[in-house]
Structure 1
Amino acid sequence: MNDKLKFPKFYLYHMAKVQQFYLDVLNIPEKLFRFRELGPEERAFYNKIHFDIELDLETLGSFKEVGGVHYRTDHDLGGHQLGSGEKLEVTIDEEGKVKKFIPHVLELSFGIDRNLWALLDIFYKEEKERTLFSFPSKLTPLDAAVFPLVNKDKIPDFSEKIFSDLFKEGFTVFYDDSGSIGRRYRRQDEIGTKICVTVDFDSLKNNDLTIRDRDSMKQIRLKIKDLIQTLNTLIKEEKELNNFGKYI
């Protein structure tokens, strides 16, 4: 940053919120994120301050712009006022002092395609045994997938009941009973589903099931009565699976 320039508090506030969004919501690693200030020769003539948001993307070879924070001053309304001949000032009273001014504009600009590409670049991996899309659970198209281990001995009925209960609670869930359990896990890993729920023979006896984490591929046994609360916590707080039971 240019230390000689005094950045307005509202501008710094929005820069902080943008950074919080990328690091805490999108889970972008801090080392891959930066702001880059554009000088007078680079920025648009109407921008007094202009910082680009850049991410270091392996597929594109370097840091690339995915958005920007632009302080446009009163250029927009000032131009409209000049062209229309109508006053576009606002009046405020601060402790008995009346002030008139033309409102200034802070513009936040983000490219949807660029940011989607960034998520693919950072979180999509082709490993030896599987393809993994490990983006944040808050962004996954599916909250969970439900599998019957086999299609016999009341396990499908039990599994469908679990699926139905989750759906009624507002979860976006997918039911898959085709192919081996390993193939079903791989299909969900590829599209980014964070949690897979498997119903097996022990589920019928013990009213529990297996919960599998996408990234680590580790599993725990969990009582069915605790499933909804556990899924909510895993999705919203992104906690490790072993907070809810021992790995098996």
Structure 2
Amino acid sequence: GKAFRNEITPGNFIFRTIEFEQMEHQWFCKEGTDLQYYEEYKQKAKNFLLGLGFQEEHLRFKDHDKLAHYAKSACDIQYLFPMGWSELNGIHDRTDYDLSRHQEYSGKNMNYLDPATGEHYVPYVVEYSIGADRLMLAVLCEAYEEEELENGDVRTVMHFHPALAAYKAAVLPLQKNLGEKARDVYRQLAKKFMVTYDEAGSIGKRYRRQDEIGTPYCITIDFDTLENNTVTVRDRDTMAQIRLDVGDIAAYIEKSLEH
């Protein structure tokens, strides 16, 4: 949800702002199991980031040097932003502080009845939190590259994980007179994925446009497509090209989204 902070020094684009979107997950558990879940959620938090396409060497755990009065353990996952290592998200063992204070000042009973043991207790809380705005900034920083090519040219490319890319594929007719077949392929893929269609300019310029917005695959319809129903599929990251039957394109894209 929406969060507000009396931030003295907002800056670094959307890294530090007065108003931001905050995501939190709180796990309620029994005292004595909290450190187990704390370690478990540290790994889950890291795996979540790895699943978004972050490189492991760009992430690190940083334990808090000083703990808040309510915390038993606390650490941040830091990301290597262009301006240096900075906090991306936090994991905290908040003990029973939150519910105990609610109970103390509200007069409401915050005890939980364990149906298996019949035991009553105030749960401990293990918290995982991350700012959506800062996460978006980190995703953009991680994806962005200005790659120098063998011919001396520089291409700008966003290496988004396919699941995060706005378009999963772009359908490109080699020439405009191949547009009818290209639009047929586009309509087939649009039933399953967000795809785009582009027939303006040279094929090389169209590849570059898709690289700049992070489209994982460019599907080129050429004259061979009319003869054998195959297309050229270009990979954004490697620029390698393969031939695929039109009927196999969807499965090829789906497989990339699973990893």
TM-score tier (shorter): 0.7 to 0.9
For residues 7 and 177 of structure 1, the distance between their equivalents in structure 2, rounded to whole angstroms, comes to 57
Q: Choose between structure 1 and 2: higher strand proportion.
A: 2
Write out aligned runs for 1:32-181 (5 A).
32-39=58-65, 41=66, 43-57=67-81, 59-60=82-83, 62-94=84-116, 97-127=117-147, 128-152=153-177, 155-168=178-191, 170-181=192-203
1-structure distance, mates of 2:224, 2:133: 46
Counterparts of 1:176-187 in structure 2, within 5 Å, are 176-187=198-209
Aligned residues: 222
Counterpart Cα distance in 2 of 1:226 and 1:115: 34
TM superposition shift of 1:93: 4.6
TM-score (normalizing by structure 2): 0.81
| Greater RCO, 1 or 2 (C-alpha within 8 Å, sep 6+) | 2
Give me the whole-angstrom Cα distance separating, in 2, the residues matched to 1:194 and 1:236: 14
Partner SS state of residue 98, structure 1: coil
Classify the secondary structure of the residue corresponding to 1:215.
Answer: coil
User: Unmatched 5+ residue regions in structure 2?
Assistant: 1-32, 148-152
What secondary structure, in the 3-state scheme, does the structure 1 residue paired with 2:154 have? coil
Matches of 2:85 and 2:59 in 1, distance apart?
A: 8
- Aligned partners of 1:133, 1:63: CA distance in 2, in Å? 21
RMSD: 1.6
- Which segments of structure 1 move beyond 3 Å, counting only runs of 4 or more? none
Runs of 5+ in structure 1 lacking a partner?
1-5, 238-248
Higher helix proportion: 1
Distance 1:7 1:90, change over 3 A: closer
CA deviations on 1:94-127 (whole Å, 9 max, x unpaired) are 4xx5321111222111022222222222220123
SS of the counterpart of 2:101?
helix
Q: Distance in 2 between matches of 1:28 and 1:120?
A: 10
* In structure 1, C-alpha distance between the alignment counterparts of 2:95 and 2:54, rounded to whole Å: 30
Q: Indicate the residue corresponding to 1:18 in structure 2.
A: 45
Look up the equivalent residue of 1:123 and give its one-letter code.
A
Overall identity of the aligned pairs, in %: 38
CA deviation vs aligned residue, 1:177-236 (integer Å, no higher than 9, x gap)? 111111110000001000000000111011101000001111011111211111211232
Q: Would you say 1:28 and 2:54 are equivalent positions? A: yes
Specify the alignment match of 1:245 in structure 2.
none
TM-score where L is the length of structure 1: 0.85
